[in-house]
Amino acid sequence: MNTPKLAAAIGRIDSDLVADAIDYKPQKKRITSLCKGIIAAAACLVLVLGITVIHAELKQYTVQNNIQVGLIASGAAADFSTATEHKGDKLWQANYIHNLLANEGVPFYGCCFYDSDSDKIMLGITENSEANRARIAALIGDRDITFFECGYSFQYLEELYDRLNDSRFALKLLGVDGFCVSEESNRLTVTLAGENCYAAIYAVNELYDCRGAAEFVTAVQDWR
Amino acid sequence: MDDLTIIGLYFARSEQAITETDKKYGRLCRSVACSILPDAEDADECVNDTYLSLWSSIPPTSPDNLAAFICKIVRNLSLKRLEYNNALKRSRSVTVSLSELESVLSGGNAASELELDTLGKLISDFLRHESADARNVFIRRYYFFDSLGDIAKRYSFSESKVKSMLYHTRKRLKAFLEKEGIDC
């Protein structure tokens, strides 16, 4: 085998080229600190813009659907200092009826509470028919109650409660402080960390399918 | 020890020059020789011959770059030894490298020294206009006869990238030589 002419000629290339090849290290494409800064700033900007856009969209959702966030006094507890024996008896009766009907699993039963303004025990049923009223009367006996038609059955509200309760930690991150079934409003009352927790409102209404059945409140400092 | 001091030792005819050369460039010499010669004994002999050649050529020669000078000697000696041993022992890797070059410039006939010098200058000119990566990959492959895997490892490239770089450099070299009136 003869060494090809070219191979022999390559043996005569300039020494500096050979010396360079001995020590050569390819330049790694390094990201300079300036580039790093620009990338970090751009990432922050995108993040801020993203959050702003999402927040605006969620706010728009709240406005468009006319969702109001009610205010409740924080730490406000039921004041029984002025409760009379009569009032106490009514409250007990309302509670008794509620427990009875809830345990019986009456599908059209909505809520039961004592309305101190009218001094009446109010009983909500999803369909205010003679047959339904008769069935309730058969269960609770002869009591002085006022029927009214309500939007949601207690069973349905309990189902929604369970649904939210299963995801309470995720909801907490979005700003849901707590939730409960409210007898008076016949709704699932969701307490928010603030008025602007639009993500929480969206999640409860759309992701957990509570639209209409949930009412939102936020606690405000009670200065009284 | 720096190169100038080693060259100084050669000029002073001190045998320490060989020791220091071996200490500094022994590994490089062996790697060049081993890339060309399959037999370790042959490679060692070539390295020793390289030191002898250095001893006889310095002085009067005073190389600008000792490393390149040594590489040139060890490469030439190794290729000569390979030619000598060709019938019995053939280094597959060098054969592959050489056959790649044959596609650029055909004809293995002995060329005159002048012709080889001219060609060497042209290749140097061509390589100077190549990117540093392409140039050094080319030299590692066809001067030092490194394997594709070794080049890929040395420069943190993939083997396919090295192969592709070599292919395109050879293509450009062929076009360049044709333009320069070299009969390919």
**CB-CB contact of B145 with B94 (8 Å):** yes
Nearest to B119 by CA among A72, A10, A59: A10
pLDDT, position A83: 62
Question: How confident is the model over A202-210, as a mean pLDDT?
Answer: 90
Q: Which residues contact B117 (CB under 8 A, 6 or more apart)?
A: A12
Q: Does B92 touch chain A (CB under 8 A)?
A: no
CB contact under 8 A, A6 and B119: yes
Q: Which residues of A touch B65 (CB under 8 A)?
A: 15-16, 18-19
CB contact under 8 A, A1 and B86: yes
pLDDT, position A29: 65
End-to-end CA distance of chain B: 44
pLDDT digits (tens, 9 = 90+) for A69-96: 888 776 555 555 666 778 888 888 899 9
Give this prediction's pTM: 0.50
ipTM for the complex shown: 0.80
CB contact under 8 A, A8 and B155: no
Question: How confident is the model over B165-169, as a mean pLDDT?
Answer: 92
pLDDT digits (tens, 9 = 90+) for A100-114: 998 888 999 999 999
Q: With 90 as the cut, is the pLDDT of residue A13 above it?
A: no
pLDDT, position A77: 54
pLDDT, position A224: 45
Please state, in angstroms and rounded to a whole number, the distance separating the CA atoms of residues A62 and A169: 22
CB contact under 8 A, A13 and B65: no
Question: How confident is the model over B131-139, as a mean pLDDT?
Answer: 90
Question: How confident is the model over B114-122, as a mean pLDDT?
Answer: 84
Helices (H), B12-131: 16-36, 40-57, 66-84, 92-102, 113-128
Size of interface A-B (CB pairs under 8 A): 127
Nearest to A160 by CA among A117, A129, A205, A191: A205
Confidence of residue A2 (pLDDT cuts 50, 70, 90): very low
Q: With 60 as the cut, is the pLDDT of residue A164 above it?
A: yes
Confidence of residue B58 (pLDDT cuts 50, 70, 90): confident
Question: How confident is the model over B27-31, as a mean pLDDT?
Answer: 87
B150 three-state secondary structure: helix
CB contact under 8 A, B144 and A21: yes
Please state, in angstroms and rounded to a whole number, the distance separating the CA atoms of residues B136 and A22: 9
Q: With 50 as the cut, is the pLDDT of residue A1 above it?
A: no
Cα separation values, A177 from A141, A171, A201, B79, B85, Å: 39, 8, 12, 83, 87
CB contact under 8 A, B111 and A9: yes
List the single residue in A1, A2, A8 with the smallest CB-CB distance to B116. A8
Cα separation values, A179 from A52, A151, A176, A200, Å: 27, 19, 8, 12
More confident residue, B107 or B27: B27
pLDDT, position A46: 95
DSSP string, chain A: -PPPHHHHHHTTS-HHHHHHHHH--PPP-PPPHHHHHHHHHHHHHHHHHHHHHHHHHHHHHHHHTT--EEEEETT-----TT--HHHHHHHHHHHHHHHHHHHHT-TTEEEEEEETTTTEEEEEESS--HHHHHHHHHHH-S--EEEEE-SS-HHHHHHHHHHHHHTHHHHHHHTEEEEEEETTTTEEEEEESSTT-HHHHHIIIIIS--TTTEEEEEEE----
List the single residue in A8, A10, A21 with the smallest CB-CB distance to B111. A8
pLDDT digits (tens, 9 = 90+) for B71-109: 888 888 888 888 777 755 555 556 666 667 766 655 545
Q: Which range in A134-138, B59-63, B111-115 is most confidently predicted, on average pLDDT?
A: A134-138
Question: How confident is the model over B43-52, as a mean pLDDT?
Answer: 88
Q: Which residues of A touch B117 (CB under 8 A)?
A: 12
Q: Does B107 touch chain A (CB under 8 A)?
A: yes
* Percent of chain B at pLDDT exceeding 70: 86
* Shortest CA gap A39–chain B (Å): 26
